Amino acid sequence: MKKAAIIGAGIAGIAASIRLAVRGYQVEVFEANSYAGGKLSSFELNGYRFDAGPSLFTMPQLVEELFTLAGRDPKQHFEYLKLDETCRYFWDDGTRLTAHANQAAFAREIEQKLGEPAQNVERHLADSAVKYDVTEKLFLHRSLHKIGTYFNRDALKGYLNLHRLDAFKTMNRANEQRFEQPRTVQLFNRYATYNGSDPYQTPATMNIIPHLEYNIGAFFPKNGMVDITNSLVKLAQELGVKFHFNTKVTDLQTTENKIIGLSCVGNEHNNQQFNHSITQPFDLVISNMDVVNTFRKLLPRAAQPERILRQPKSSSALIFYWGIKQRFPALGLHNILFSDNYKAEFEHIFKQKTLYHDPTVYVNITSKHKPDDAPTDGENWFVMVNAPNNDGQDWDALIAQARQNMIQKISKSIGQDMSQLIECEAILDPRSIESKTSSSQGALYGNSSNNRFAAFLRHANFSSQFNNLYFVGGSVHPGGGIPLAILSAKIATDLIKN
C-alpha cells in the first residue's frame, strides 16, 4: 500500500486525505494545533459558541462530492440549509437593504432602496454567471501549470470568451460603468474582499464572485461552519486516515528530487514533549501549509521560487468575538455596515497598511439559525473588519482604536450603546492568524489578486523540484476560501498517478 503524508489539517488537507484514502493510500496527517480545520474551526466562551474563521458557505456540492467519492450519502453525514437572504446592508444615514436569495426580489429591493434600475442588477448577475461558466473548468478545476490545460474543449471555449472576463479593467471601473448609483457600486465592490483584494485594483474578472451567492446560493451548515471540518474529519478517519495533532512538522527530508520523510516536534503522546524523525519513506507528501512557510521553514536548503513567494499578500482581518446579552431582530445571519468612504478604506488597508477610522464592519450571528450558539437572551457576534496583513504595525494600538470605532459605528446603526452589552470577548488579529495557521503575514488568501496576472502568480499544486511533493490550500492555485481550497485538493490529487 502506498503511503502519503499531509502537512496541515486545514480543509484542503482534509479533502486531499479523503481523496487519497479512497484511492487506496495509507494517509497520515500532521497538524501543529490540537484541532483540525485551520481557520475553519470553532471555540466556546462563557456559554457562547463561535465559528472562528470562514462564515459564508457556498458551493456545498464540493463538500458533498467527498462523501459521494467515499460511497456515502452526503445527506446522512452533513446537513445544511439554503438561506432565504444572503446579507443585510446598513449605511450610516439609516438606509437598510436586504439581499434576498431570489434574484428578482433582490433587484427590486435595490431599485426601491438605492434607486438603481433592477435591470442593471439582473444584467450584472447574468454577466457574473457567464464569467463563471468561462472560467470554471479551465481555471478552477485544472492546474494552470500543465500544458494540457490549454489544449482541450474547455480551453477553446475560454479563448473564445476571454473578452467577457474584463481582465483589463478594475472591478470598480466595471461596476461604475454598469451601475448608476454609488451605493450599488459599493455593494458589488465588496466582493473583492472575498479573496482579500482591493476592488480599485483587482481585475473585473473577480465579478465572477457574486455568481456563487446569487445564482447558486448561500447556505448554512445546521451544526455551524465547523461541521464542514468535523464531518469531513470523521469521514477521513472512517476511511483509515490517521491524524497526528499537536505535531508540528519542522523539516522535510530530501534527496536530489524526492521527499523521503518528515521531522516533527510535538506532544502528541501522553502530553510529553518529543522530537523524532519519521524515516520510513512516504510515496508522496502534500503540504497544506502556506506555500511561503513550506519553502522558508521546511525546505530552506531547496531552491526558492522567489518570484512567487515575494508577491504581495492579500489582506487579513481583525475579528472580535462578542457574547452579546441581548437579541436584535433587525440583524440577520450576515450583516454589513458600510463605510462612508470605501475608497479611502481600501487605500488605508493596501497602501498605508493601517486601519481606516470609519471601517466597513461585518457582523455574523450564527445563533440566528442555530439558537444553542448563545444563551436564550443573547447572541454570538463575530465582528470583523478587513485589515492589512502583518507588516510590523503597532497592532495593540490599532486594535484598541478599531474597537472603539467599531462599537461607535454599530451603536449608531442599532440605536443603542453596544459597549454595555458585551458580556465576553475574544480577539483574532493578523499576528494571531499568522501564528495559529502559519499563514504568511497573517494573509487570509495567500497572494493578493490585485493585478490581472494574479491567477498565474500563485504556486502550482505540484513541485517542479521534487517529484512527489504537492501543494493544497488557499495560498496556491486556485486560491483562498472554502470552495477553492477544496478544489485545490482535487487538482493536486488528480495530478498524482497511481
Task: For residue 385, give the amino acid letter.
Answer: V
The three grid cell numbers given for residue 38, joined into one nine-digit string: 485551520
Between 269 and 484, name the one with better pLDDT.
Answer: 484
Which residue ranges make up each domain of the chain?
Answer: 3-41+223-311+451-495, 120-216
* Architecture field, domain 3-41+223-311+451-495: 3-Layer(bba) Sandwich (3.50)
Least confident of 3-7, 76-80, 157-161, 384-388: 157-161
Q: What is the mean pLDDT of residues 275-292?
A: 84
Q: How confident is the model at residue 155 (pLDDT cuts 50, 70, 90)?
A: low
Least confident of 161-165, 173-177, 209-213, 299-303: 161-165
Sheet holding 247-254, edge to edge: 247-254, 259-266, 274-278
| pLDDT at 278 (0 to 100) | 62
| pLDDT at 381 (0 to 100) | 98
What burial letters (b/e) apply to 164-188, b meaning 16+ CB within 10 Å?
Answer: ebbeeebbbbbbeebbebebbbbbb
Tell me phi and psi for residue 328, to 5 degrees.
-130, 100
Tell me phi and psi for residue 399, to 5 degrees.
-65, -45
pLDDT at position 464 over 80: yes
Q: What's the mean per-residue pLDDT of the chain?
A: 93
| pLDDT at 113 (0 to 100) | 98
At residue 13, the 3 state secondary structure works out as: helix
pLDDT at position 367 over 70: yes
Element housing 111 (H / E):
helix 103-114
| pLDDT at 33 (0 to 100) | 96
DSSP state of 106: H
The three grid cell numbers given for residue 493, joined into one nine-digit string: 490529487
For 302-328, write each residue's pLDDT tens digit. 999 999 999 999 999 999 999 999 999
Measured CA distances, 429 to 7, 99, 277 (Å): 24, 29, 33
At residue 477, the 3 state secondary structure works out as: coil
At residue 310, the 3 state secondary structure works out as: coil
Distance CA 450, CA 95 (A): 30
CB 34 within 8 A of CB 271: no
The three grid cell numbers given for residue 422, joined into one nine-digit string: 458585551
Cα 28–chain centre separation = 24
The three grid cell numbers given for residue 398, joined into one nine-digit string: 490599532
Sheet holding 3-7, edge to edge: 242-244, 26-30, 3-7, 284-287, 469-471
Q: How confident is the model at residue 330 (pLDDT cuts 50, 70, 90)?
A: very high
Q: What is the mean pLDDT of residues 456-473?
A: 93
Stated pTM of the model: 0.95
| pLDDT at 157 (0 to 100) | 67
| pLDDT at 148 (0 to 100) | 72
Distance CA 324, CA 77 (A): 32
Nearest to 16 by CA among 437, 491, 446: 491
| pLDDT at 423 (0 to 100) | 97
Distance CA 482, CA 479 (A): 9
For 52-108, write each residue's pLDDT tens digit. 999 999 999 999 999 999 999 999 999 999 999 999 999 999 999 999 999 999 999
Dihedral sign for Cα atoms in the order 201, 207, 212, 213: positive
> What is the percent of the chain with per-residue pLDDT over 90, rounded to a whole number?
85
For 341-360, write each residue's pLDDT tens digit. 999 999 999 999 999 999 99
What burial letters (b/e) apply to 101-116, b meaning 16+ CB within 10 Å?
Answer: beeeebbebbbebbeb
The three grid cell numbers given for residue 101, joined into one nine-digit string: 436569495
Q: How confident is the model at residue 160 (pLDDT cuts 50, 70, 90)?
A: low
* First and final C-alpha spacing in the chain: 11
